[in-house]
Structures are given as C-alpha cells and as structure tokens.
Amino acid sequence: MEVNGYKIEPGANLSGLNLTDADLSGADLSGANLAVANLARANLARANLSGADLSGANLTRANLSEANLTGANLYYANLLVANLWHTNLSGANLWYTNLSYANLWHPNLSGATMPDGTIHN
C-alpha cells in the first residue's frame, strides 16, 4: 500500500512524516516508526499498529476504532478527540499521552502503563 508516496508496510520508517487525513484503514504498520508523525484526522480503523513507535505523534481526531495498538509506544502522543472505540491498547505505553475528549468506549487497556504509573490488569 502506498499513501502520499510513502510505502505503508510493517516496520516502515515514517518518522516525522505528514500523513494528515490519510486513509490507512486496515493497514499493517506493525513495528513501524511513526515517531512525531502527523496523523491528524487519519483513518486508522482496524489498522495493525502493534509494537509501533508513535511517540510524540499527532493523532488529533484520528479514527483508531478497532485498531490493534498492542505494545505500541504512545509516549507524549496527542490523541485529542481521537476515536478509540474498541481499540486494543494492551501493553501500550500511555505515559504523558493526551487523551482529552477521546472516545474511550471499551478499549482493551490490559497491561497498559498510564501517566500515573498504573498498570491495568
């Protein structure tokens, strides 16, 4: 899959790229480097982002419904008003992640580390 001229695949290095409004629904980005990428309003529904580095990424208003973020690094990521409906965040690093106004309807937070150091069971 190619989006905006960038190859979207597992382990891809997309660090710092502008993927605003990109349709990445169902994409396999497992283990990808998306650190400080701009994914504002991107459609990541049902995408596989397991083990991806999303540290410092802008996911404002992104659709992450039913996405797999198992073990993803979301350190300092911005998920302001993001849709996390049924998103799998098990084992994810959520330290300093901005989840203000995010739709957190039934996410899987098992083993996720939170800003206060809490690990969910």
Residue 84, token pair as written in the block: 């996390």
What pLDDT sits at residue 114?
80
Residue 46, token pair as written in the block: 């049902």
Rounded mean pLDDT of 26-42? 98
Residue pointed to by tokens 């629904």: 25
Helices (H) and strands (E) in the chain, counts: 0, 2
Residues in Cβ contact with 74 at an 8 Å cutoff, skipping those fewer than 6 apart: 54, 55, 57, 89, 92, 93, 94, 97
Q: What is the CATH number of the domain that holds 19?
A: 2.160.20.80
| Containing structural domain, residue 23 | 1-121
Rounded mean pLDDT of 3-29? 95
| Count of CB atoms situated within 10 Å of the CB of 31 | 17
Position 3 pLDDT exceeds 90: no
How many Å apart are CA 2 and CA 110, to the nearest integer?
32
Model pTM above 0.75: yes
What pLDDT sits at residue 113?
87
Rounded mean pLDDT of 22-45? 98
Share of the chain above pLDDT 90, in %: 83
What pLDDT sits at residue 4?
82
pLDDT in tens, 52-104: 999 999 999 999 999 999 999 999 999 999 999 999 999 999 999 999 999 99
Q: Say how many domains are in the chain.
A: 1
